Amino acid sequence: MPTHKASAYPRKHFFFEMFTRDISLEDCILDLIDNSIDGLLRSRNIQVGSSLLSLSSNGDENVNRKLPRIEVSYSARRFEITDTCGGISRESALSDVFNFGHAPGEVGGSLGVYGIGLKRAIFKLGSQFEMVSKTMGEGFSVNLDVKKWVEKDDNLDDWRIPLQYIGGAASEQAAGTTIKITKLRPEVVMRLDDGTLAQRLHSIISQTYGLFMGKYVQIILNGRKVDPFHIPIGDSNQVTPAHDDYQDGEVNVKLFASLAARGSNQTWKSEPAGWYALCNGRIVVAADKTDLTGWGTLGFPQFHDGKHRGFVGVALFQSDNPLALPWTTTKRGLHRESPVYLHARNRMIGVARPIIKFLDGMYKADAPEEPAGRAIANQVTRTGLSEIAARPVTPFSVRVIPGRRPKTTVRVQYDAEMTAVQRIRKHVKQPGWSAGQVGKYTFDYYLETECPQ
């Protein structure tokens, strides 16, 4: 029997029109920021696994240094992202950057996993794009009318994108990439102008790249610097956060969990409570209170808004092979079928349990906070992930300070009719009892007969 070969070629039109529908505008913009950060990690030779949580290179000493910048700006006519993150080499541009996906064994970067983000974002946003990228030694530019490029689709050679070589950057600080997209799609223009996108993007960027900002990079959105979000995990001299650390194949997993830092009014808010999951430093799930992070599974309770708002947990997945990480293609979710995630979820329940027990004890029957627990919680202030990571693996613990035994009694006072008190005196044959003794007797009687232990 002769064998015939059916056509199974890719079609540009699919990528241009369909491929972009399952991803939000926000996620497309984050994909572009991912590419910039990957460029930075590559050009500065930063190892996410070892340095992201290191104390030595973390924090304040870098604040005043001139960090590389990623600037995102947009209007109804154009979208632009410019970075000073080192640029893309010509070789990489010729053989990798514009491909749809990576070949087996190729690793894109720490955050750019699938090799689709840049193309998908361009197609999603508009039909004309310009790109200029300069490393220290060389540069290239692209100017593409996407619609025209899509129209010609006779063979795989038509998938190539023309580049022009240009000179390199004058300094490391100037090396970087600019992507400008014009002829924006009408639906994109509508979203860009909906009055809420800017604020929403600001908070998503702040949250997603909290670990990178202020340490490696600054991100500026429409001229306004984005401040990093800090996960509100807390500790005190009495409260030690849980710290679990293990290797699962190619992925290192770190789990931290503790009480949340208290706000200035000595309360917890429900919104930031829950689990945060990070893949190579990028937050992919924030303040999760669902079964995705173990709530309501394996006998672990559902998130209870009143009781559990004091819980914060962090699951950090790190790998040199980002494909091994349990993130979804949009990188804003966890891949539910990933064995790494499934095993981590079970262990997240294990580390969270003592904290939930503490909180359950603090909010018995939804009553106001139990005083001893409140005194402990009020001392809890925000700590950094680097600080927790630097400590040994340990379960969550609360140290009770000797000599400060919390008060366990409360004064009960109420008014009663004198005739009623007298009736009780008569009934129990204790005419000399004070009203207080009658009150104590009746309270004890009720406790014993109606509330037996």
Site residues for another protein per CB under 8 A? 244, 246, 248-249, 297-300, 338-347, 349-351, 353-354, 357, 360, 395
Nearest one of 279, 267, 249 to 310, comparing CA atoms: 267
Report, in Å, the least distance between residue 443 CB and another protein.
24
Between residues 247 and 265, which has the closer beta carbon with respect to another protein?
A: 247
Burial pattern 194-232, b for ≥16 Cβ within 10 A else e, equals eeebeeebbebbbbbbbbbbbbbbbbebeeeebebbbbb
Report, in Å, the least distance between residue 22 CB and another protein.
26
Between residues 121 and 315, which has the closer beta carbon with respect to another protein?
A: 315
Report, in Å, the least distance between residue 326 CB and another protein.
9
Between residues 354 and 384, which has the closer beta carbon with respect to another protein?
A: 354
Between residues 254 and 353, which has the closer beta carbon with respect to another protein?
A: 353
User: Residue 258, Cβ neighbours under 10 Å: how many?
Assistant: 29
Between residues 244 and 288, which has the closer beta carbon with respect to another protein?
A: 244
Side-chain-side CA neighbours of residue 82 (13 Å):
13
Between residues 297 and 330, which has the closer beta carbon with respect to another protein?
A: 297
Q: Give yes or no for a contact between 98 and 119, defined as CB atoms under 8 angstroms apart.
A: yes
Between residues 98 and 300, which has the closer beta carbon with respect to another protein?
A: 300
| Residue 236, amino acid | S
Report, in Å, the least distance between residue 16 CB and another protein.
38
Q: Which residue has the tokens 């996108």?
A: 197
Report, in Å, the least distance between residue 344 CB and another protein.
7
Report, in Å, the least distance between residue 258 CB and another protein.
15
How far apart CA 145 and CA 397 sit, in angstroms, is: 60
Report, in Å, the least distance between residue 392 CB and another protein.
12
How far apart CA 334 and CA 336 sit, in angstroms, is: 6
How far apart CA 350 and CA 383 sit, in angstroms, is: 21
Between residues 74 and 341, which has the closer beta carbon with respect to another protein?
A: 341
Between residues 357 and 423, which has the closer beta carbon with respect to another protein?
A: 357
Report, in Å, the least distance between residue 300 CB and another protein.
7
Report, in Å, the least distance between residue 297 CB and another protein.
8
Q: Give yes or no for a contact between 121 and 191, defined as CB atoms under 8 angstroms apart.
A: no
The pair phi, psi for residue 65, each rounded to 5°, is -70, 155
Q: Terminus-to-terminus CA distance in the chain, angstroms? A: 84
Nearest one of 401, 398, 414 to 361, comparing CA atoms: 398
Q: What is the DSSP letter of 260?
A: B
User: Residue 34, Cβ neighbours under 10 Å: how many?
Assistant: 25
Residue 208 token pair:
């997603």
Between residues 112 and 326, which has the closer beta carbon with respect to another protein?
A: 326
Nearest one of 329, 233, 317 to 283, comparing CA atoms: 317
How far apart CA 453 and CA 445 sit, in angstroms, is: 14
Between residues 221 and 344, which has the closer beta carbon with respect to another protein?
A: 344
Catalogue the E-assigned strands of 155-302. 164-166, 176-184, 218-221, 224-225, 234-235, 239-240, 242-248, 251-259, 274-279, 282-288
Between residues 335 and 382, which has the closer beta carbon with respect to another protein?
A: 335
The pair phi, psi for residue 311, each rounded to 5°, is -100, 135
Residue 227 token pair:
């401040």
Element at 196 (helix H, strand E): none
Report, in Å, the least distance between residue 31 CB and another protein.
27
Report, in Å, the least distance between residue 340 CB and another protein.
7
Report, in Å, the least distance between residue 45 CB and another protein.
32
